[in-house]
Every structure is written in C-alpha cells, then in structure tokens.
Amino acid sequence: MSQQLRSFLMAVGVIAGLTAAGYGVAIMGAAVVIGDSHAVVEQSSKSDGWRGVRTGTAGRVSIPDPQAAFLIQSEGEIWRSIRNGPVTVIGAWGMFAILVLLVLFYAWRGRISLAGKPAHREVVRFNGIERFAHWMTATSFIVLALSGLNLLYGRYLFIPVIGKEAFAIVTEAGKLLHNFVAFPFMFGVVLMFVLWVRHNLPSRVDLKWLRQGGGLFSDRHHPAAERFNAGQKAIFWIVVLGGISVSLSGLALLLPFAFPMFGKTFAFLNLFGFGFPETLTSMQEMQLAQLWHSVVSLGLIVVMFAHIYIGTIGMEGAFQAMGSGRVDAAWAEQHHSLWAASAEEAPAEDDAVPSAVREGQG
C-alpha cells in the first residue's frame, strides 16, 4: 500500500471518528434534554393532577375527537428535542464530514483524467429527454435543499446577519417555493425511474467494479462497466427510493392530516416482530412525517455532495456527458467499456445543423 493511500485512509478514519463522536454527543445530549424535561415535569408541581396533564394523561371528553382529551400534547416536547438536537446536529456533522472528505480526496487524487489520448470521435451518452429529466430533477432538488436547510439552520446563520424581519420574508418565500417546486422534483424522479431502471439493475460486473474501487484510486486500473457502473447504480436507487420517501412525507406535510402513513407502516412492520405503536394521533403522524422528511432529505443532500463532486471537478468529461449528451469515445471505453462497444456514434457538429440552415449561413 502506497504512502499516499495510507495517509488518505488515515484521514478518512479521523473524519469518520470525529463524525461518530459528534453523533454520540448529539444523541447523548438529546437523551439528557428529554430526561431533564421529564425531571422538570416531576418537580414543577406537587399536584398529581397537574403532573398528569403535563405528561399527556388523557381526560374525558364527549365530542368525537379523542385528541381533545389531551390538554397538553407531551410528544411535542420530545419532537422538538429530537428535531433541534440529533437531527439538526447530526445533519450538520454529516454535511461537514462529506465536504472535508471530498476536499481531502481531491487533494490526494486530483482530477481523474483521461488515461490516454482522446479519440476525437464522440458517442451519444444521454439523449435530450434523459438530460431534461436529470436537470429538472437536479435543479428542483437544489431549490428544495436550500429552502429546507434554511428552515433547519437559517435562524442560526442568517438572523444575526440580516435580522429577523428580512429572515422572515426570505423564509416565507422559500416555503412557498419549496411547496411548488416539489412537484417538478417528484415528476423528475418518476421520469428518471422509467428511463433508466433497466440500465440500473445489479449484475456480476458491479461486484468486480466494487472490488477494484471503480478505478477511483488508481490511473492504472479501470474496471469494466455497463452503461451505469455500480456507483452510479447506487446513486440511482438512493435517489429513486429516497425521492419517493421524501415525496410521500412531503405530501403528508403539504396536506396536513390527509395522509396518515406511519400507523399503517408500523402495523406492517409489526408483522415481522417489531413493536411499533400502531394507533397514532393525527398530531403524532405529522410529527413523525416532519422528522422523517428532515432525516431523508439530509441523507440525500450528503449523497448529492459526492455526486456533484464526481460530476464536475472530480472527473474529466463527466459534466460533458450530461451537459451536451456527448462523450469522447476514449472516455466511454475507459469508464464504460461494456457499453462503449454498442454506443451510438454522435453526428458531427455540422451534421447536427439542418442543411437549409447551413446553406443560409453560406
């Protein structure tokens, strides 16, 4: 093992250790917060009746809504502690860790360049509808990510800079944008699934690609790959499954109390021996939807940092593949050799222009 690789792996270990330590501190802190909240309840009053109210004991009501029997919904305190504790802290640590890791990887590996000389002959990597699906999903995801991160971290970062009134205006506009841009994102996820699912099914070739590290750690080894390699297939399924999950929880938040999903989901999981509560109030459903939406969204953002890196500065020719839809034949052979043999040759730039236009230009 080279000294550079050992140094890189050591740096990865340090980052992973710091991240794990941060997660542990966040979780222990949340447990302390929740424990303290219950201690405060126990000490706040000597009245058993008031203590019961504070801890969510149900009273008696004659109206159809059983939730009205709870004077104080004590789960809200737990929800707030988890949202502002582990979810926010671990999400920040995760984004920081992946950015540091990518910087270290780039400093060690540099840009992954074409191994030989370009063929000066292009093949079609993605057609127009595929590029449309990708960029619609990517653009809407960026808008959703920025507006969503503002809801989690904006008050800490922007209020000291722009003040509360300006932050309120920006956040309200971001919320409206978030609600409407969600629909192009959902459509894009479905469209990408329809277009690419047949190319992203696992195969034996992927195992060899993974064993060789995908050629990311050496210029000498470029494992064979189909149209999408194992890393790209992983990204595809993360986006599809994560996108569906975050879309469902987002719809539950966009249309409050209309899509109670967690009670039914817990009932299904309990068939396999889990002990989740199946009877949930409408408010509990909303709280779980909000937490799940945040957790899945933060996970997608962390993964997309790596995807954006490899698609821009991380690899020569990668951005061109989704930008113009064309790649050099040598690039296709290096990174997707099993697909390159059957790839459609791209027409020359002059051939792409209608003859009537060329004659008019002449």
Q: pLDDT of 96-122, one tens digit each?
A: 999 999 999 999 999 998 888 888 899
Sequence-separated (6 or more) residues with CB below 8 Å from residue 186: 243, 247
Grade residue 359 by pLDDT with cuts at 50, 70 and 90: very low
How far, in Å, CA of 95 to CA of 146, rounded?
A: 13
Alpha carbon distance 224, 334 (integer Å) = 8
Q: Is the pLDDT of residue 216 over 90?
A: no
Higher pLDDT: 275 or 75? It is 275
d(CA 207, CA 229) in angstroms, rounded, equals 10
Q: How far is CA 30 from CA 36, 42, 291, in A?
A: 10, 19, 14
Q: Stretch 67-81: mean pLDDT, rounded?
A: 77
Tell me if residue 313 falls in helix, strand or coil. coil
Would the pLDDT of 179 be above 50?
yes
Which residue from 196, 182, 302 is spatially nearest to 243, judged by alpha carbons? Answer: 182
In the numeric block, which tokens belong to residue 291? 């937490």
| Residues 317-329 pLDDT 10s | 999 999 999 999 9
Q: CA–CA separation, 87 vs 351, rounded Å?
A: 53
Q: Is pLDDT at 211 greater than 70 in this prediction? A: yes
Q: What residues contact residue 191 under an 8 Å CB cut-off, 6+ apart? A: 133, 136, 137
Average pLDDT over residues 45-49: 60
Give CA separation, 6 vs 97, 189, 320, in Å.
19, 39, 32
Q: What is the pLDDT of residues 118-135, one digit of tens each?
A: 888 999 999 999 999 999
Is 351 in a helix, a strand, or coil?
A: coil
pLDDT surpassing 80 at residue 262: yes
Q: Is 95 helix (H, G, I), strand (E, B) or coil?
A: helix
User: Distance of CA 290 to CAs 67, 82, 248, 286, 339, Å?
Assistant: 19, 11, 11, 6, 42
In this prediction, residue 360 carries a pLDDT of: 45
Distances (CA, A) of 87 to 99, 246, 297: 18, 15, 11
Stronger pLDDT, 202 or 214, i.e. the higher one:
202
The residue ranges of every structural domain in the chain are 1-110
Quick one: pLDDT at residue 54?
Answer: 63
Q: Please give the average per-residue pLDDT across 272-290, as a whole number.
A: 88
H or E stretch covering 123: strand 122-124
pLDDT more than 70, % of the chain:
78
- pLDDT higher than threshold 90 for residue 60: no
Residue 16 in this model has a pLDDT that exceeds 60: no
**Could you give phi then psi for residue 112, rounded to 5 degrees?**
-75, 110
Structure tokens at 145: 């990510």
What is the DSSP pairing of strand 326-328 with strand 122-124?
antiparallel
Q: Encoding tokens for residue 79?
A: 């929800």
pLDDT above 90 (res 301): yes
pLDDT for res 10: 56
